[in-house]
Amino acid sequence: MSRTSVPLTAVALMLAACQGADRSEQRHTLVDSRDWEDPRSLDPARSTDVPTGRAVAYLFDGLTRFAPDASVEAGLAERWEASEDGLRYTFHLRPNVQFHDGRSLKASHVIESFRRVLDPGSTGGRGWPLYPIKDARAYSEGSVTSITGLSAPDDSTVVITLEEPLAIFPKLLAMPVASVVPDNLGENFGEQPIGTGPWKLVEWRHDDYVKFARNENYFGGAPSVDTLIARIIPEPSTAVAEFENGAVDILYVPEDQTASWESTPERRAMLHSAPALRLWYVGVNVTRGPLADVRVRRAIAHAIDTKTILDKLLGGRGTLAAGVIPPSLDGANADRAPYAFDVARARKLLAEAGHPNGINLELWSSQTAPLPRIAEAMQAYLADAGIRVQLVQRDAASVREAARNGQVDLILKDWYADYPDAENFLYPLLHSANHGVGGNVSFYRDAVFDSLVTLARREGRDAERIALYRQADSLAHADVGLLPLFFYNELYAVQPWVQGFEVPVIFNGQRWSKVSLGNP
């Protein structure tokens, strides 16, 4: 999609922004241009993508929430405690919290919100963050009629009982899908949402912008800015032009423009960067032909000059990966080296695996930039090692479906964490319980790996859990259960009059409630 003209709303914003550079007291609207696709819905139950998850975080609260640095904070629950066996969590709700329409929050709203997400008649959402709750999965599958793990002994207390201990459970409750909604929802709740969050919906002009007004009665204090506008700008060059004209306050810097933004002092002074919990990788379907041999998978790893791809095609925005756990998370091993670029070694491994004349494979990717260019570079590197790759590029939905069905040899993907924990990389991407639709499109299976991750999920002691994460990551890396390429760094340009902005480590970690518009 591209635009041939700037909407009238953008023109008005542009004029206001340009005036604001000189008279900052006139600025009351913050404009964010990070999203290039429309939210799927504004209903938390349908939160399956980043634009939707971000918007839901503005409008709603969960029992817990993420800070910009991805730490877990108290949300609607002012405190909570876990039982000694790790099976029961008791959440104590904040007093006097109101929904946007004035209704008071009660514990029953939490219970009913979770039931709504898990209802077997619901469509289009993903209830898996709530599956650890006793009988939640069975309820969602229609095999039981109640969720025994949910109870509300009074209006201010929610008790959640789990199927088994899960130390990361409070992190799951900070995900958008676990947001709390009122009862008696309207028929068009996804277009006319009512939450408890710091922002209220004013207007949603599809594929153009979503406009929010601050919630004056927010329990955490009203946002400093009167209005927040989330612009949807599919074309990166358009977003850059609007930022340079003052119509946009926050810009996601396109990868191919990284060098130009870093090359001048004026532009460089506006840049804000932080490591994201985002892994770029190649799914390697270990069930297909020669890929069942670990020597072939290691040959692929040695054949690709990942550093050059990172530097040339993504502006050097990231660090090479030697495992699937990002460096900022507990469990990452900073001492382990990535697979070295070594064509001779790759050819030797292929010959040892019985393929002295090379092999033929398909490499799939979506058509979303910059994936096609990365795939083309990988194709050239692999060819030098005797790995002849045919590129298959389709729309994202078609590629995702083919990978989940096991119809793909290699697939170039990125994984953006749902919550800040090593488990969110190890479990969905590599555990055998998640083959296909669960995220493990490599169809990797190793009993020792599975046991390590399962033990880590249940382990309540931090040091012991981190040690298990490290062991599992090391094992999968040696096996090339998937081929990790690099961890990504987010890079934003922020106007000088924006104060208090922090680059969010997790996608729904920046709610703009503490950001203000002041003097440059």
If DSSP states are collapsed to H, E and C, what string results for 378-397? HHHHHHHCCEEEEEEEECHH
DSSP state, residue 207: T
Share in percent of the chain as helix, strand, coil (round to 5): 35, 25, 45
Backbone dihedral angles phi then psi of residue 311, each to the nearest 5 degrees = -70, -45
Measure the CA–CA gap between 317 and 302, rounded to whole angstroms.
21
Closest C-alpha among 236, 207, 185, 238 to residue 40: 207
Phi and psi at 359, nearest 5°, equal -140, 165
Q: What is the pLDDT along the chain (520 residues), one digit of tens a residue?
A: 223 333 434 444 444 444 444 444 467 999 999 998 999 999 999 998 889 999 999 999 999 999 999 999 999 999 999 999 999 999 999 999 999 999 999 999 999 999 999 998 876 667 889 999 999 999 999 999 999 999 999 999 999 999 999 999 999 999 999 999 999 898 899 999 999 999 999 999 999 999 999 999 999 999 999 999 999 999 989 999 999 999 999 999 988 889 899 998 999 999 999 888 999 999 999 999 999 999 999 999 999 999 999 999 998 999 999 999 999 999 999 899 999 999 999 999 999 999 999 999 999 999 988 899 999 999 999 999 999 999 999 998 899 999 999 999 999 999 989 899 999 999 999 999 999 988 999 999 999 999 999 999 999 899 999 999 999 999 999 999 999 999 999 899 999 999 999 999 999 999 999 999 986 5
Q: How far is CA 64 from CA 25, 94, 174, 500, in A?
A: 34, 12, 5, 22
Q: Please say whether the beta carbons of 248 and 236 come within 8 A.
A: no
Is-contact 290 446, C-beta < 8 A?
no
Report the b/e string of 167-186 with b at 16+ CB within 10 A.
bbbbbbbbbbbbbbbbeebe
Task: Please name which of 318, 309, 327 lies closest in space to residue 490, comparing C-alpha atoms.
Answer: 318
Place of tokens 């023109």: 11
How far, in Å, CA of 169 to CA of 131, rounded?
A: 10
Which alpha helices (DSSP H) does 328-390 contain, by range? 343-352, 371-384
SS3 letters across 19-82: HHHHCHHHCCEEEEEEECCCCCCCCHHHCCCHHHHHHHHHHCCCCEEECCCCCEEECCEEEEEE
Q: What is the largest CA-CA distance in the chain?
A: 72
Cα separation, 42 vs 488, in Å, equals 27
Residues 6 or more apart in contact with residue 492 via CB below 8 angstroms: 34, 250, 251, 252, 253, 271, 272, 273, 501, 503
What span, in angstroms and rounded, lies between the C-alpha atoms of 55 and 200? 10
Name the DSSP class of 104.
B
Beta bridge partners of 391: 363
Neighbour tally for 90: CB within 10 Å:
16
Distance between CA atoms of 106 and 98, rounded to whole angstroms? 9
For the chain, the straight-line distance linking the first and the last C-alpha, in angstroms and rounded, comes to 34
Contacts of 178 (CB under 8 A, 6+ apart): 44, 62, 63, 113, 114, 117, 129, 130, 172
CB 63 within 8 A of CB 51: no
